[in-house]
Structure 1
Amino acid sequence: MEANHQRLFRLPFKLPNSAQSRSIGVYFSGALYAIGAWCFLDAAIYSRKANGSSVHVTFIDWIPFICSTLGMIVVNSIEKNRLIQDAMGSGSFSGSSSMAWQARVILFLGFALLAGGISGSIVVLILKFLVKDFKSYPTLGMGVNNVVGNFCITLSCVVLWIAQNVEDEYSYSLTL
């Protein structure tokens, strides 16, 4: 007889080996962050060394990249058990402790930094490159690289969040 299992998702997500899946997710997340940082730094170096136009990467272009990086650090620094701390005991989220609410607020601020990084890079692309009619690709590419870099950093944060939440079959909690 099969046990009646309730699923959270319609599609069954089965990972072959939790430890291996976690490692692959962490490495993939690091690769995405490296690609994002490389895209942005490539545009910054290109704007100073090889760009023939008057448009350069300035501090305004760095602000979305810094916001995305800080958002990734904040989101992945939160201990995941703090988010659902009292929900397991009481059966609802209404009686959560202040520690759980603090973790949720910090998590929200981290995701707000990530969203601000992506939206800021899109605004910089539009206002600095598209409105001023820089349609040639090497110059326009600096703005596109900023958007691609911030998107890769945000995707890296999501992949790392999921990879850290993969449960091992044989994991034990040794906290007292």
Structure 2
Amino acid sequence: MNWNLAHWFVYGEVDWDQLESRLRGVCPFLSGAIFGAGWWCLIDALVYSKVVLNETYPFTYNLPGIIATVALIMMNLVSRDDLANMGDSYSSDEGSEGRAKLWLFLSYCIAFGAVAGSVAVLVTCVQHHEHVGVGVGALLQCGLILLSGLLLWAFRSDDGGYAAIH
């Protein structure tokens, strides 16, 4: 089947296997670009605040982004294939299914907690009428890092490091 979007809309036929294989090839690169854009948002806001506005900000405004980055790493330590093969008694030991699911749940909780922390930073900045750009940058950073982590976790390929390039 051709990679033709108009054909999908006209005939309603979607080759899901081909779509998934293309997404597995593109999404790791897209995820990295989104991750970089997230950090760029915060760094740009911090540099603008320091250089143009000549303001100093508390270091705690950086914590949601750092925590979101740690959550992204934690999230991607568990692959979808590991969770899909959990019922097989030959490939897993006792309790490994529960540990993997708990680790993934904990990483999601930490990621959403980082987003909540960045919302708190933005609300604090708006209420005090200072460093609002840093608050917006922190919120954008955490949202983009979370999106990046979810894309990478959902569409990464476990069949080799350079499988997407070939």
Normalising TM by the smaller chain, what interval? 0.7 to 0.9
Which amino acid counterpart does residue 85 of structure 1 have in structure 2?
N
- Is the Cα contact below 8 Å between 1:84 and 1:100 reproduced in 2? no
Which secondary structure state, in structure 2, belongs to the residue aligned with residue 57 of structure 1? coil
Aligned to 1:21: 23
TM-score calculated relative to the size of structure 1? 0.71
Deviation per residue, 1:27-73 (Å, 9 max, x gap): 11011001001001112222222224x4x332211110011000000
State percent identity of aligned pairs: 24
CA distance in 2, matches of 1:165, 1:13: 19
- Is the Cα contact below 8 Å between 2:83 and 2:101 reproduced in 1? yes
Distance of aligned partners of 1:117 and 1:83 in 2 relative to their CA distance in 1, 3 Å threshold? same
Aligned to 2:61: 61
Which amino acid counterpart does residue 24 of structure 1 have in structure 2?
V
Distance of aligned partners of 1:124 and 1:21 in 2 relative to their CA distance in 1, 3 Å threshold? same
Q: Where in structure 2 are the equivalents of 1:96-135 lying within 5 Å?
A: 97-127=94-124, 129-134=125-130
CA distance in 1, matches of 2:27, 2:15: 15
Distance of aligned partners of 1:51 and 1:33 in 2 relative to their CA distance in 1, 3 Å threshold? same
Which of structures 1 and 2 has the bigger CA Rg?
1
Q: Where in structure 2 are the equivalents of 1:2-151 lying within 5 Å?
A: 14-16=16-18, 18-52=20-54, 54=55, 56-87=56-87, 97-127=94-124, 129-134=125-130, 139-151=131-143
- Is the Cα contact below 8 Å between 1:71 and 1:114 reproduced in 2? yes
Which secondary structure state, in structure 2, belongs to the residue aligned with residue 87 of structure 1? coil
Q: Which has the higher helix share?
A: 2
Aligned to 2:4: none
- Is the Cα contact below 8 Å between 2:64 and 2:118 reproduced in 1? yes
TM-score calculated relative to the size of structure 2? 0.75
* Alpha-carbon shift at residue 97 of structure 1 (Å): 3.6
- Is the Cα contact below 8 Å between 1:82 and 1:99 reproduced in 2? no
CA distance in 2, matches of 1:151, 1:110: 15
CA distance in 1, matches of 2:25, 2:74: 21
Which amino acid counterpart does residue 95 of structure 2 have in structure 1?
S
Aligned to 1:173: none
Count of residue correspondences: 144
* Alpha-carbon shift at residue 85 of structure 1 (Å): 3.5
CA distance in 1, matches of 2:121, 2:19: 42
